[in-house]
Amino acid sequence: MIVKTIKVDQLARVEGEGALKVVARDGVVQSAELNIFEPPRFFEAFLRDRMYSEAPDITARICGICPVAYQMSAIHAMENALGVVVDGPLRDLRRLLYCGEWIESHTLHIYMLHAPDFLGYAGAIEMARDHADIVRRGLDLKKAGNAIIALLGGREIHPINVRVGGFYRAPRRRELQPLAEELKRARDGALATVRWTAGFDFPDVERDYEFVALRGDGEYPLNQGRIVSSRGLDIAAAEYDEHFEESHVEHSTALHAHIKARGAYLTGPLARYALNAASLSPIAREAAREAGLGSVCANPFRSIIVRAVEVLYACDEALRIIDQYEEPDRPAVDLEPRAGVGFAATEAPRGMLYHRYQLHADGKIADARIVPPTSQNQPSIEEDLKIFATAWLNLPDDALRHRCEQTIRNHDPCISCATHFLRLDVDRGR
């Protein structure tokens, strides 16, 4: 029997700390484990007995790369619990803020974490030695996303201006105008990014995922929508717990999210695109067509193109919102604490993020539950490795290891967010 073990002790160019172990017997991959040894931080525990209004600032600290997603999910869940719907210009501003995060986070992933894999560099800084103009284009694009977050949120990481009910201060129309100029340039950069990534050399592999994403009323999903899947699921966020569960798997003490009826599923850009491509703006739809994506993209290595299409969409959508923006009368709606349970799911750049809060009558949090995208995607990432790596077993070890790492980076896992599935038997190879 020939045993082959591929280990990566520290995954680079992902957010947080993780490792990988693939075991093959006689040319067949037996197991693939994405080990996560990020220390637990206990957010759901210390959210208890905090006021509902404190949740957005606290949950932002789960992740420095997608704090807006955590703030927005917490805010929508709290508003759901308090029986308030925030609409009109305040809703548009939230959508604009989320566009900023998609641009910033996706661009970081495309240019700094993922593209170096396709071009054979250790990272973007190494890539800049040969491709300075391309890396600068990425940095400019990322900066445009951050400019939106900084203006609306006060700063790029852990924004301070959002609150349950709206904002502390709503921007004036004229404050948004300089953003529009920057975003027009960014939109050109985003289109160039789609074309650039479409020219990469992709492994010819496909997967039969169950895609899960939000679906809005004719709009590409960001903050709101029903939870739908490519196999017929169509539910409100409040029904998430009836259809999804987190469980232990045999090889790991890790919690993995599954659809109760069927098993592993995938959220994120591939899922959003498969379920919502028709709602993209015309320029983004055209760029996707030109890049050869079709109506569904099931090759996870091509997710880098789909991310680029979403960046283009986010630039376009941000410009639309700025163009149509009417200043609201007040930056936030009034709220009264009450007992209740609130649910929300939003589309973090990496995929769907679900929050549920139970509130006491005085507005304090009785119970919190947060399911980050990475815990939902982890079973699918491991399945990718099991299915693909068998075909790659004849590659030299370095090449095989690189392919496996790339397979994980396809899904942009955000490990700090996802420490719910910490393993006990971490094998760091030390």
Please report, in range form, the residues annotated as the binding site for Fe cation. Answer: 66, 417
Name the token pair of 285.
């739809």
8 SS3 class: strand
Amino acid found at 74:
A
State the minimum distance, in angstroms, from the CB of residue 135 to another protein.
7
CA distance 278 to 373: 23
Per CB under 8 A, 427 contacts another protein: no
DSSP assignment of 314-335:
HHHHHHHHHHH----SSSB---
**Half-sphere exposure (Cβ direction) of 279: Cα atoms closer than 13 Å:** 17
Element housing 77 (H / E): helix 67-82
Per CB under 8 A, 382 contacts another protein: no
What Rg do the C-alpha atoms of the chain give, in angstroms? Answer: 21
Contact status, residue 326 vs residue 89, Cβ threshold 8 Å: yes
297 SS3 class: coil
Per CB under 8 A, 309 contacts another protein: no
Q: Segment contacting another protein (CB under 8 A): 127-135, 186-194, 311-319, 337-345? A: 127-135
Among 23, 91, 118, 154, binds another protein (CB under 8 A): 154
State the minimum distance, in angstroms, from the CB of residue 401 to another protein.
10
By CB under 8 A, the residues from 219 to 248 that bind another protein are 246, 248
Number of residues near another protein (by CB under 8 A): 65
Q: Segment contacting another protein (CB under 8 A): 53-61, 81-89, 179-187, 260-268? A: 53-61
State the minimum distance, in angstroms, from the CB of residue 248 to another protein.
7
State the minimum distance, in angstroms, from the CB of residue 142 to another protein.
6
DSSP assignment of 198-252:
HTS----------BEEEE-SSS--SS--EEEETTS-EE-GGGHHHHEEEEEETTE
Phi, psi for 228 (deg, rounded to 5): -125, 160
Q: Which parts are annotated binding residues?
A: 44, 63, 66, 370, 414, 417, 420
Question: Considering beta carbons, is residue 55 or 284 the nearer one to another protein?
Answer: 55
Q: Which parts are annotated binding residues for Mg(2+)?
A: 44, 370, 420
State the minimum distance, in angstroms, from the CB of residue 426 to another protein.
9
Contact status, residue 302 vs residue 202, Cβ threshold 8 Å: yes
From residue 79 to residue 118, the character string flagging contacts with another protein as x (rule: CB under 8 A) and all else as - is -----------------------------x---x------
Per CB under 8 A, 416 contacts another protein: yes
Contact status, residue 255 vs residue 246, Cβ threshold 8 Å: yes
Per CB under 8 A, 125 contacts another protein: yes
Question: Considering beta carbons, is residue 276 or 419 the nearer one to another protein?
Answer: 419
List of E strands, 264-419: 340-348, 351-359, 365-371
Query: Could you list the residues that contact another protein (CB under 8 A)?
Result: 10-17, 38-46, 48, 50-51, 54, 57-58, 61-65, 67, 108, 112, 122-126, 128, 132, 135-136, 139-140, 142-143, 146, 154-158, 160-161, 168-169, 246, 248, 253, 255, 331, 405, 416, 420, 422-424
